[in-house]
Structure 1
């Protein structure tokens, strides 16, 4: 019975590890709840202590927890397999049967492929299972390495893109003012084309590696969710508040909106539980002082109302990354 339970546990752990590391369908059925629970704990501690820097360690802690979870699960599973086969492991010197502790010791150095050591399997079945366990341990370590490398590359790509976007302006009003060249906003087109591909890549990375969301940044310049919300709100301000003749090509704005929507779609599961209202309307006053030709207040309000649901989702994304909407649009 113990052997059967151990085999089932090994199978479940390996399916979860393979699902998480080798597919593009997100975390496995065990890794998913485990990482979500850990993130909830870290967010709760961060809010209760008022120390936002704690969130910055969530990603690293999540990876360490996943690795230990899979290793311990595999260790326990193979331990039960051998314990369920009495007399399957003996001392190499005096031929005494292994006790409970030594069974797990035997499984430990077998999974780590360090060699047999001072214990050895007895019988053909035990020898074959020992070889399978060694291969199993090697496969799991390989999977974890193959998962960690692209994951860290994804973190770097997100930070790089976020910083690139932050250079456009530290909030949506400054972004709009910085994009004004004195005649129109056409210079934004080249910037939008430049970052579009990077946003798509980050969105697809997010689908393959949901754990990317757990790598929070305590610096706003490196928070991708915050920067995407800032860019989108700046586009709302331009489309709804500025004379149409000054705007970039309509297709350019439409395409970047679709790309940001793709990112929001990929993050839906992570932000769906967050409560957030539609953010207050931004003020047109800073733009009026710059001499821009603006729409009437009524036209502005009517146009902005079309984006209410999108703005609410972006508000969720900002809160999810540990920021407030005032970091996007100062009051």
Structure 2
């Protein structure tokens, strides 16, 4: 009887966790999968050192595969316990003998993966119904798992495309501002910022739906979403608070882009990303002045940055969690 209760609990845990993770858009990861993902990320982060970031490059695929295998293993173990709770639940065809634990695990695996029932069959009555339910749960889990993997891979591509778009504007925040200057204002950034805002909103929703995305680490900074978001927001900070109002892109475009960044930052709780303990280095307005671009005074810019302290510390925490340095660069 104990094995029946434990097995049922494992089955319910697996099904709830899988449905929670794959179908609940705002729910984040399930209780099992989210904790397992964080443990794996922590372990791979410990294996990472300066100049040796390849373990983090494996984090996303490893987390995805291990979580899926964890679901399969728990469901398999749960149903094996259920079918072991009654010695007469299943028997060998012909002889009618009751199989041992290995035989019951074999029967359960055959059933879960919808391969049939092999040379072991369930007894008539309730155990036949249990076999049908087990087969359905296995088919459901495999279907959800495959769909989830494909969706995550598509979202990874979206994030890399966003990072590439930001890299095309400049290597860092000041570089973006310098390239966008046309001699009078930054009007040429309007379309680019609108496009990036749309991409970033899509990424935010994908990170809410698929928290495992936070564990995908790009070795190339040009395809790293974390670095790209930080570079973009620092550029927006310069454009919004570091240059005269007469030169800025339209206010609606700037504020829309900044709101998109904030929405993305709000998804970081799913990856346990916390604001850094220190304030990151501010953008260098002197670099713009040297190139002949108009800027506000350092004192006025510093006052504006004070109001953005928590936002910028969150950006720094995100960048450092991704094993990168500040100021963020895409080069």
CA contact (8 A) 1:282 1:329 kept: no
- What is the aligned-residue RMSD (CA, Å)? 1.7
| 2:310 alignment counterpart | 309
C-alpha spacing 1:120/1:223, structure 2 compared with 1 (3 Å): same
| 1:95 alignment counterpart | 96
- Mapped partners of 2:330, 2:162: distance in 1: 20
| 2:162 alignment counterpart | 161
Question: CA offset at residue 296 of structure 1?
Answer: 2.1
For the residue of structure 2 that corresponds to 1:173, the secondary structure is: helix
CA contact (8 A) 1:271 1:317 kept: no
| 1:284 alignment counterpart | 285
Question: CA offset at residue 276 of structure 1?
Answer: 3.6
Larger displacement relative to structure 2 (305-314 or 167-176): 305-314
C-alpha spacing 1:266/1:133, structure 2 compared with 1 (3 Å): same
Of 17, 36, 40, 1:38 maps to: 40
| 1:210 alignment counterpart | 211
1:235-250 pair list within 5 angstroms: 235-250=236-251
For the residue of structure 1 that corresponds to 2:58, the secondary structure is: helix
C-alpha spacing 1:302/1:4, structure 2 compared with 1 (3 Å): closer
Question: CA offset at residue 99 of structure 1?
Answer: 1.1
- Mapped partners of 2:45, 2:5: distance in 1: 39
| 1:270 alignment counterpart | 271
For the residue of structure 2 that corresponds to 1:115, the secondary structure is: coil
Question: CA offset at residue 227 of structure 1?
Answer: 0.8
- Mapped partners of 1:96, 1:303: distance in 2: 79
- Mapped partners of 1:292, 1:179: distance in 2: 11
CA contact (8 A) 2:275 2:314 kept: no
Question: CA offset at residue 199 of structure 1?
Answer: 0.7
> Which residues of structure 1 form unaligned runs of 5+?
none
Q: What is the aligned residue count?
A: 329
For the residue of structure 2 that corresponds to 1:326, the secondary structure is: coil
- Mapped partners of 2:269, 2:176: distance in 1: 26
Question: CA offset at residue 271 of structure 1?
Answer: 4.5
- Mapped partners of 1:273, 1:41: distance in 2: 18
CA contact (8 A) 2:243 2:294 kept: yes
Question: CA offset at residue 131 of structure 1?
Answer: 1.6
- Mapped partners of 2:308, 2:28: distance in 1: 29
| 2:6 alignment counterpart | 5
Larger displacement relative to structure 2 (137-146 or 280-289): 280-289
- Mapped partners of 2:330, 2:54: distance in 1: 22
For the residue of structure 2 that corresponds to 1:30, the secondary structure is: helix
For the residue of structure 2 that corresponds to 1:267, the secondary structure is: helix
Larger displacement relative to structure 2 (126-135 or 321-330): 321-330
Question: CA offset at residue 269 of structure 1?
Answer: 4.0
| 1:186 alignment counterpart | 187
- Mapped partners of 2:125, 2:22: distance in 1: 33
C-alpha spacing 1:118/1:310, structure 2 compared with 1 (3 Å): same
- Mapped partners of 1:129, 1:307: distance in 2: 58
Superposed CA deviations along residues 235-265 of structure 1, whole A, max 9, x for unmatched, are 2223333222111112211111111101111
C-alpha spacing 1:224/1:76, structure 2 compared with 1 (3 Å): same
Superposed CA deviations along residues 266-302 of structure 1, whole A, max 9, x for unmatched, are 1134244463411122222221121112222222222
> Which residues of structure 2 form unaligned runs of 5+?
none
CA contact (8 A) 2:230 2:328 kept: no
CA contact (8 A) 1:200 1:259 kept: yes
Say whether residues 1:195 and 2:215 are aligned partners. no
Larger displacement relative to structure 2 (237-246 or 270-279): 270-279
- Normalised by the length of structure 1, the TM-score is 0.95
